[in-house]
């Protein structure tokens, strides 16, 4: 039972964070003007989309979903 709860919580968190990343990238696209600034938004969009895919994979209990979740967890976009 605890494992099922952990799977659901992690899957929903991945989905939520992925959706927030995509929404953030879409809303901020017009605010940035240089190519380098747009590359940051594209990276944020890809990060969000991969979070959504990983969340779906975790909720479906597929091995690739858990692998993607581990990979996404290791990626850190925070400044130093």
Q: What is the pLDDT of residues 19-53, one digit of tens each?
A: 988 998 888 888 878 888 888 888 888 888 888 88
CB 54 within 8 A of CB 69: yes
Cα angle for residues 39, 52, 27 (degrees, 5° grid) = 45
The predicted pLDDT at position 58 comes to: 85
- Res 80 pLDDT > 60: no
* Cα separation, 49 vs 15, whole angstroms: 9
Distance CA 20, CA 14 (A): 10
pLDDT grade, residue 78 (50/70/90)?
Answer: low
Q: What is the mean pLDDT of residues 2-13?
A: 86
Nearest alpha-carbon partner for 66 in 76, 56, 75? 56
């Amino acid at each position: 039972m605890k494992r099922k709860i952990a799977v659901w919580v992690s899957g929903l968190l991945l989905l939520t964070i992925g959706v927030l990343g995509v929404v953030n990238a879409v809303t901020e696209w017009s605010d940035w003007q240089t190519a380098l600034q747009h590359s940051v938004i594209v990276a944020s969009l890809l990060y969000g989309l991969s979070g959504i895919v990983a969340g779906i994979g975790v909720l479906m209990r597929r091995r690739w979903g858990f692998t993607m979740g581990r990979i996404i967890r290791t990626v850190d976009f925070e400044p130093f």
